[in-house]
Structure 1
Amino acid sequence: MDDTELLFIQPGHTLYPEELELRYRVLREPLGFPRSAVTFPFEAQSLHLVLRQGATVLGCVLFNPEDAHGGRLFQMAVSPPLQGRGLGARLVIALEEELRRRGFTHVHLHARANVVPFYERLGYEVYGEPFTEVNIPHRHMRKSLASSILPGRRSQEA
C-alpha cells in the first residue's frame, strides 16, 4: 500500500464525496442510519484527513477544534477489507502530528466500546462512565498531545 497518500481536505474537495461515502458505509449504514446521518453541523470547521489511493478514499479521520488547545477526534473509518493493517493508526498518528504542529495540546473522542483497545494502543485513556450514542455502547477517551513524544523523536528542548 505504498502508493497511498495522506491528505487534508475540506468539504467541497473532489475527494469529499468519497470520504462521506466511506463514513456512511463503515459507520452509519451497518447501524441502519440514513445517509443524511453521516454529516455533522461542524463539518466545515473540522480538519478532514483522508488516506487515498488515487481517487479512492481508503480511510479518514476528522477533528473538530473546540478551543485553542483541544477538540474532538471523530468519524475515524477504514474500508472494511483493509481494517487491521495499521491504516487507522497511521491516520490517527498523522492527525496528532498535525494537531501538535498547530499548537493543540489535547484531544478527546467518543469510542465505540469495541474499538477502545485500538485507541488504548495509541495512548488514549478511558474516562467517565459508559454511555450510548447512535444506539451502541461508547466510552469517553482522551489523550494529552503535549506529553506524547512519538518513538524515534526527540524533544526540541535541550
Structure 2
Amino acid sequence: MPQVDIHPVKNQQELEEMFYQRWLVLRSPLGMEIGSERDNNEDDALHLIAMCDRKIIASARLRQLSLELGSISYVAVLPEFQNRGIGTKLIENLIAKAQEKNLKTVRLLSRINAIKFYQKLGFSEQDKPFEFLGIPHIFMHLDIQP
C-alpha cells in the first residue's frame, strides 16, 4: 500500500474535501443529502485526515466537551482502505491529542457493527443500543491514562 499521511486539516480546501469524504462513507449509503455530514460543532473540533496519493481516504474528529471529557466522532474510512489499520491509527492519534489536552475520558457513538473495532482499542460499551439515523448505535468510552 502506498504511503499514508495522517495530519490535522490544514486549510479550507482540505476541510471541504474531508466533508465530502465523510459524506461518501457515512451518509451517502443511508441516502442522506450532502450537508448531513456536518453539525454545528465543526469549528470547535480537531479534524484528522489520512491522505494517500493526495486523496483523503479517512477522517475523524475530536471535540473537547468539558475539562475532562472528549468526544470522537465521524470516523470514516473509504471502503477500499478499510481493514488496513488506518482507522486504528486515526483513533490512536486522537487519543494522543486528548491526552495532550489532559482529558480523562473520551467517548464516541459507535454503530453496532463497529463495536469490536473500538473494543480492540480499549473502549467499553455504555448503556444500551438505540436507533440513530435508522441504524443501531451504542455509546462507548475510554478512560485515558496520563
Give the TM-score normalised by the residue count of structure 2: 0.94
Q: Structure 1 residue 124 and structure 2 residue 123: aligned?
A: yes
Structure 1 residue 9: Cα displacement: 1.8
SS of residue paired to 2:32: coil
Distance 1:53 1:32, change over 3 A: same
Structure 1 residue 36: Cα displacement: 1.5
Partner of 1:62: 61
Partner of 1:3: 3
Task: Give the letter for the 1:67 counterpart.
Answer: S
Task: Give the letter for the 2:68 counterpart.
Answer: H
Q: Distance in 1 between matches of 2:55 and 2:2?
A: 14
Task: Give the letter for the 2:5 counterpart.
Answer: E
CA contact (8 A) 1:15 1:55 kept: no
Q: Tell me how large the CA RMSD over aligned residues is.
A: 1.4
Q: Distance in 2 between matches of 1:138 and 1:115?
A: 9
Q: Distance in 2 between matches of 1:54 and 1:23?
A: 18
Structure 1 residue 54: Cα displacement: 4.2
Give the TM-score normalised by the residue count of structure 1: 0.87
SS of residue paired to 2:36: helix
Task: Give the letter for the 2:74 counterpart.
Answer: Q
Partner of 2:84: 85
Partner of 1:52: 51
Q: Provide runs of 4+ in structure 1 moved above 6 Å.
A: none
Partner of 2:15: 16
Partner of 2:111: 112
Q: Distance in 2 between matches of 1:53 and 1:105?
A: 32
Structure 1 residue 21: Cα displacement: 1.0
Q: Distance in 2 between matches of 1:105 and 1:56?
A: 33
Greater Rg over alpha carbons, structure = 1
